[in-house]
Structure 1
Amino acid sequence: MCTAIDMQPVSRAATHFRADVEGLRAIAVLSVVAFHYGVPGLTGGFVGVDVFFVISGFLITQLLLREIAATGKLDLLGFYGRRAKRLLPAAFAVTLTTLIIGYFVLAPFEQKEMAKSAAASALYAANVWLLRQSMNYFAPESSLNPFLHTWSLSVEEQFYLVWPAFLLIVGRFSQKIILLALLIVVFGSFVSCIYLTYGKQAWAFYLAPPRAWEFGAGALIATRPFERWAKQPGSSSMVGWLSFAILILSFFAIDGFMAFPGVVAVVPVAATALLLLTGNNPAGPSALLRTHPFQYFGARSYAIYLWHWPIAVLGTVLVGSTALANCLFFVMTIVLSSLSLAWLEYPIRASHWLAQRSVRSIVMGGAVTLTATVAGILSFAIAQYVTNAAQAKIVASTSKYSLSSESGCLAGFTTQSPIRCVFGPSSYTKTIVLLGDSHADQWTTALAAIAEQRGWRLITYLKASCPIADIPVSRVYSLRLRRLSPQCASWREQAISMIKTQDSPDAILLAQFSSGNVKGPFTNLGHHAVSIETWERGLFGALKELEPVNAKLIVIRDNPTPYHPVGNCLARAEWRRLPFSTCNRSLSLTTSNEVFEAEQRAVSSINNARMIDLTSSICTGLVCPAIRDGVVVYRDANHLTVDFTLVLMDRLAAELIATL
């Protein structure tokens, strides 16, 4: 296919082949692979996909405008026929291989999700599917989807569905009209991208319209006015080397914590566009990009991109993610991509029979698409059939949400106003308020049951990913929104005000994902995590604000955090007949004594405040089991299951009664 990732000509003697573009493909795909394989420092390697988008816009626009200029029309059958035979067979091979190996490696419920993603990928709707699943590209759970990377291929295909028609309309006019039309597309797409990045980041990341400006940037370079400028040798070599340096630096300077794509994506997009513009200058980076190593990886870029991610996902499940394992995964990727290129891609592209009539390639592509879709459906059906009672029990336990979440009481990531929910009998003797994030929310089913038993009223103020500790607004970062979350400070201020003025509580319980917000091995927040000292001051500040309420202040110590998807681990262990103990975690790897001690200091400084520590009821000795007393302990990588909080209900009730 004539995309950035997959267009490698069968013959390098082709009239319009540019070796510098092949070298750019190598840089793009190796940056993506290095990012996914955890190469230290390469925090922005994922922008290699943006490089691909720019190259795609450049190549396809150049190709189509030449055809329009020569013939006054477009051979759409020929266009899509070439796309089909160049792209679909390799994608089908990877899809089928992944589904087969995934059957033996992943648990049945994971196989179902894999099968759905495979079918969406086959239909070039993977980006839309991932968006509907609320799957953030940078979230830890994304690493469990072997077809996550196909979102970008879907974006490209969706772009190509409309781009030929667009160019056919504007390509008949003068160069000025073509340029103006492209500028309008780029500007409109870029504005929508900026807007969505700071409002609905996943939409900006996954959908084709907010990404069209990146293709458009490459398309602009393909127009004749820019071609004429590029032929002027004057400063183009200096521009080329500067752009090359900026592009390489962007792989290290950008990270997944930035609001991306948005303004940040301008850096790699502009650098790539300028490299394409100056690529024919032998004094520029073109000389480097034309060397054998770059040509080798560039020729295999599409196959490498297809193979590397399923290998990483399934390989990590089997052997873990270590430097040695990742090196092995890379070798496997190169070997399989080379075989794929030599035995599948090149023979089909060179097929004389397919080349004779474009409709043959289109029919072949349709058959491959249909077969891949059916393979996904069959994979889902097989996974459904092999799901046994043990698998169903694990899935049921990890899929159950708390009473407050089911009741719509957990405020979402962008919600600023507190949601006040009341549970318990209409006639009550005491009022308990629960204030916190999702780690507070997980206790609501057990607390509501205690309230019913004791004749208490339970009032909740809960917001996802929003710490109660009064830390600076500039440090409250939302992993889901991929940006700072100023709504948290406003929500917390309003919730505390409502508690003071409306509730007259006898006790206020505070619970939050403590270790997830503090610098150290227990957080995914990177440089946005706060120091121990800042966290201690923040908790003290929150307690100090609540002290005038004249209620018992009770801080529930954050539960031990395994930081791996326990439910997935248990289901895989059951499927592969491994002991459940393989999913246990050491106590030292799930708790932070430093955070606990800091919180104890903050609590001890406040009158009428105390701390509840349930760790000994969650973990046994030095081990935090994945299953305890026959009950699954963790719903995901950090939350307790509802079932297990009910196991802890008596212990929690005893602690509350003792305090009250």
Structure 2
Amino acid sequence: MPRHSTGRFAPRSSPTATFRPEIEGLRAVAALLVAVFHIWVGRVSGAVDVFFLVAGFLITTSLLRQVEQSGRLHVGSYFSRLARRLLPLAAVVLVFVTLLAPMLLPSTRMRATLREIAASALYVENWALAAKSVDYLAREDAPSPVQHFWAMSVQGQFYVVWLAVFALAAVWGSQRIRRRLVALMSALLVGSLAWSIMLTDANQPLAYFHTGTRMWEFAAGGLVALAVTAGYRIMGRAGQVAGWLGLAMIVTTGIVLPVSTSFPGWVAAWPVGGAALILLADSTPGGVASALGCRPLAWLGRYSYGIYLWHWPLLAFLLAQTGRPTADAWSGLAIIALAVALSVVTTTLVETPIRTRLHFGPWRTVGAGIVVMLLVVAITAGVGQNYRAPAVASAASTSAEHPGALELAVPGTASTTEAPIRPSPQDATADKASVYTDECHQGTGTAEALTCAYGVLDTAFTVYLVGGSHSAHWFPALEEVATINGWRLVSITKSSCLFSTDPPGEGDEVQYCRDWNSNVLQLIAADSPDLVVMTSTYDGGSGEHVPEGYLERWAELDQLGVPVVALRDTPRWDTSRPDCVAQYGATSNRCGEPRSNFFADHDPTAQLVNPPPNVHFADLNDFVCGPIRCESVVGNVLVYYDSHHLTATYSRSLAPMLQDALTDAGYGPSR
């Protein structure tokens, strides 16, 4: 590879900037990959990582030219150009979503959506999603129409970091600034990549949205820019092979790699490396630059930013209206066509005039951009007045209007259909077991076994409720039973963690769960409770079964002389039940499914060859589902506060049936 040195760095010594149409084509390919994978595949493609590398390449080229031509950084001009390029379309899309969301989304999703719109306007959406990713109960929330702004937020934060990198490199003047930039960018690449690998292994959902795990991708683009502007290119036949190989790596990323569960980590080096090869490849005839630089792709690349911004809210609104997890072929094509059309229109009528025709001073432009985005936040706050969160969770008992599970348990019990359902879909997420508000339910990122005692504390009979969130949602029912019987109830639950010798999961999360299991077992051995209540089955996507780890755990409890009542697990739906009820109504057939969709033909506990002698099995799902169908609302009570956790109100209505099951196991009122 020949090297064309620019010599010492002084004003006007840098190479002349040249337009590379293949970069526009590369952007077009990345935008289409993002849209295609979101719309039809239902997973990420890795193309966002291509955008990050290209952003690092272009901004490094621009800042380097500025420093080498003028000898200093022009901070106002830098932020002014970014504001003119990025903010107009972002503001239009955010206002569009804010105005249409109340008409096209279930009311249950509005509070979260408005919060995310505000976060997107402030360029912190990635951190808002990172916070949700570590909140187990929020992980399965339906994605908002602006969730894709996480990438724009990361990119916006990168631009601030990159200005600091150049400022640090320029402290000693513009002479030899390239060497200092290579050192700084290399250090940032190594540190960020190492952090990305470690955090991805420990907590992949958090790592996906974390700015620190993505910074190395921008740094890689910056290093490529330094190489290219210094004359380093892959020439001739090698350049042709490298360019086409790079494109193949990008296109195949979402197909051959498990990007949804392993990104960013080291796996992101595949699409990032592919983009780097394309930018390093010489523009020789027959190379990838000829294909990517063709007029249709170059034209589409001009609108790739708008395509990225528009496609996701269109898809989110479509899925919310149809209730489907993915779009069909024709509606997907319509989304892409409409996204392209909206991008062309808004780029032509909004972004281009603002960028090229409005001439304010640099800092006035920056100030105007900040005001516009703050106005977006103000609009979301105004709309949000109609969607205030409830002050407290519902704590109502069953009644003639809201019998809940009693409607299935007691023949002839029927609710008053005119009564509003309880809790309302909008308030459902607040209707959780009190162990959450009491901070007695452990999160995923620690192994400490939290214990909280309820019921009659000075009694001789102690019941332990142990397991994951599907054990925790039985707490309201079990608390009523414990109070009636005069028992002491100790709750020890942890999100996404089965009370098992081999809990499912990966990374640090499952290690925390294993350690938590050991800690709980030590507590049980020390306290010798009279009874442990937990779940008996699990369906993690492979069908309902009794985990082998449960059997081993029950054997350990048997050795300790501790009996167990194990409850068959409750249904797990694909989508939020409050969302469905809010959109279609409590009596809609669309919010119910055949019972056979959720359970094995026979209770797996009944198929055990040698059932553990210390375990009594109970199945209360006849009071959660009807004999044929499972519904989202039973007895005017909303059954779930998300896609698979019982509301506290419905759980409480199951108390009489749970009492009967415990009595059958030998733990009745007589105790």
1:658 pairs with one of 641, 649, 664: 664
Amino acid at match of 2:603: E
SS at match of 2:236: coil
SS at match of 1:545: helix
2:535 pairs with one of 511, 515, 525: 511
Cα distance change on mapping 1:97 and 1:567 into 2, 3 Å: same
SS at match of 2:40: coil
Cα distance change on mapping 1:319 and 1:484 into 2, 3 Å: same
Answer whether contact 1:127 1:152 (CA < 8 A) is retained: yes
The reply to whether residue 558 of structure 1 matches residue 569 of structure 2 is yes
Amino acid at match of 1:404: V
C-alpha distance in 1, partners of 2:260/2:612? 35
The reply to whether residue 193 of structure 1 matches residue 176 of structure 2 is no
Cα displacement string for residues 521-566 of structure 1 (whole angstroms, at most 9, x for unaligned residues): x8xxxxxxxxx5xx55333333333333444432201112223111
C-alpha distance in 2, partners of 1:649/1:337? 55
Answer whether contact 2:127 2:209 (CA < 8 A) is retained: yes
The reply to whether residue 248 of structure 1 matches residue 251 of structure 2 is yes
1:323 pairs with one of 315, 325, 328: 328
Amino acid at match of 1:63: S
Answer whether contact 2:422 2:649 (CA < 8 A) is retained: no
Cα distance change on mapping 1:273 and 1:136 into 2, 3 Å: farther
Answer whether contact 2:142 2:576 (CA < 8 A) is retained: no
The reply to whether residue 571 of structure 1 matches residue 585 of structure 2 is no
Equivalent residue, structure 2, for 1:66:
65
Cα distance change on mapping 1:362 and 1:410 into 2, 3 Å: closer
Cα displacement string for residues 574-615 of structure 1 (whole angstroms, at most 9, x for unaligned residues): xxxx45425532133651215x53333238622243321111
Amino acid at match of 2:125: A
The reply to whether residue 22 of structure 1 matches residue 24 of structure 2 is yes
The reply to whether residue 284 of structure 1 matches residue 287 of structure 2 is yes
Cα distance change on mapping 1:75 and 1:570 into 2, 3 Å: same
C-alpha distance in 2, partners of 1:345/1:597? 60
Amino acid at match of 1:297: L
Report sequence identity in percent.
28
C-alpha displacement at 1:634, in angstroms? 0.4
C-alpha distance in 1, partners of 2:568/2:234? 66
C-alpha distance in 1, partners of 2:201/2:49? 19
Equivalent residue, structure 1, for 2:605:
599
Cα distance change on mapping 1:138 and 1:182 into 2, 3 Å: farther
Cα distance change on mapping 1:590 and 1:268 into 2, 3 Å: same
C-alpha distance in 1, partners of 2:142/2:150? 14
Cα displacement string for residues 245-283 of structure 1 (whole angstroms, at most 9, x for unaligned residues): 222222212335534322222222222222211153444
Amino acid at match of 1:537: E
Equivalent residue, structure 1, for 2:437:
406
Cα distance change on mapping 1:213 and 1:137 into 2, 3 Å: farther
Equivalent residue, structure 2, for 1:529:
none
Equivalent residue, structure 1, for 2:384:
380
1:195-234 to structure 2, matched below 5 A, reads 195-199=198-202, 201-224=204-227, 227-230=230-233, 232-233=235-236
Cα displacement string for residues 440-479 of structure 1 (whole angstroms, at most 9, x for unaligned residues): 01111221221121122223332211123444x6xx215x
C-alpha distance in 1, partners of 2:486/2:156? 60
C-alpha distance in 2, partners of 1:202/1:36? 17
C-alpha distance in 2, partners of 1:623/1:367? 53
C-alpha displacement at 1:644, in angstroms? 0.4
Equivalent residue, structure 2, for 1:489:
514
C-alpha distance in 1, partners of 2:317/2:345? 20
C-alpha displacement at 1:102, in angstroms? 0.5
C-alpha distance in 2, partners of 1:277/1:512? 57
Cα displacement string for residues 89-139 of structure 1 (whole angstroms, at most 9, x for unaligned residues): 211211111111112123445323222222221222222333344478998
C-alpha distance in 2, partners of 1:450/1:25? 61
Cα distance change on mapping 1:295 and 1:51 into 2, 3 Å: same
Cα distance change on mapping 1:536 and 1:67 into 2, 3 Å: closer
C-alpha displacement at 1:639, in angstroms? 0.5
C-alpha displacement at 1:38, in angstroms? 3.1
Cα distance change on mapping 1:512 and 1:404 into 2, 3 Å: farther
Answer whether contact 1:35 1:44 (CA < 8 A) is retained: yes
The reply to whether residue 644 of structure 1 matches residue 650 of structure 2 is yes
Amino acid at match of 1:593: A
The reply to whether residue 34 of structure 1 matches residue 36 of structure 2 is yes
1:129-144 to structure 2, matched below 5 A, reads 129-134=128-133, 141=140, 143-144=142-143
Equivalent residue, structure 1, for 2:175:
173
The reply to whether residue 633 of structure 1 matches residue 639 of structure 2 is yes
Provide TM-score, normalisation by structure 1: 0.85
Gaps (5+ residues) in structure 1?
1-13, 523-531
Equivalent residue, structure 1, for 2:13:
none
1:95-110 to structure 2, matched below 5 A, reads 95-110=94-109
Amino acid at match of 1:378: G
The reply to whether residue 542 of structure 1 matches residue 545 of structure 2 is no
Cα distance change on mapping 1:225 and 1:124 into 2, 3 Å: closer
1:616 pairs with one of 622, 628, 653: 622
Answer whether contact 1:536 1:601 (CA < 8 A) is retained: no
Equivalent residue, structure 1, for 2:3:
none
Amino acid at match of 2:339: T
C-alpha distance in 2, partners of 1:568/1:641? 14
C-alpha distance in 2, partners of 1:252/1:139? 28
Answer whether contact 1:430 1:506 (CA < 8 A) is retained: yes
Cα distance change on mapping 1:396 and 1:365 into 2, 3 Å: closer
Cα distance change on mapping 1:222 and 1:136 into 2, 3 Å: farther
Answer whether contact 1:467 1:512 (CA < 8 A) is retained: no
Greater mean alpha carbon deviation, residues 423-432 or residues 64-73: 423-432
Cα displacement string for residues 494-516 of structure 1 (whole angstroms, at most 9, x for unaligned residues): 423432x223333332216711x
1:477 pairs with one of 505, 514, 517: 505
Cα distance change on mapping 1:165 and 1:199 into 2, 3 Å: same
1:409-428 to structure 2, matched below 5 A, reads 409-428=440-459
Tell me the matched-pair count.
Answer: 616
SS at match of 2:492: strand
C-alpha displacement at 1:622, in angstroms? 1.7
Amino acid at match of 1:406: T
Answer whether contact 1:78 1:358 (CA < 8 A) is retained: yes
1:295-334 to structure 2, matched below 5 A, reads 295-321=298-324, 322-324=327-329, 325-334=331-340
C-alpha distance in 2, partners of 1:94/1:391? 35
Gaps (5+ residues) in structure 2?
1-15, 392-419, 667-671
Answer whether contact 1:189 1:213 (CA < 8 A) is retained: yes
Cα distance change on mapping 1:141 and 1:464 into 2, 3 Å: closer
C-alpha displacement at 1:216, in angstroms? 0.6
Provide TM-score, normalisation by structure 2: 0.84
C-alpha distance in 1, partners of 2:260/2:87? 34
Answer whether contact 1:404 1:445 (CA < 8 A) is retained: no
SS at match of 1:477: coil
Cα RMSD between the aligned structures? 3.1
Cα distance change on mapping 1:613 and 1:77 into 2, 3 Å: same
Larger % of helix: which? 1
The reply to whether residue 437 of structure 1 matches residue 468 of structure 2 is yes
Answer whether contact 2:203 2:509 (CA < 8 A) is retained: no
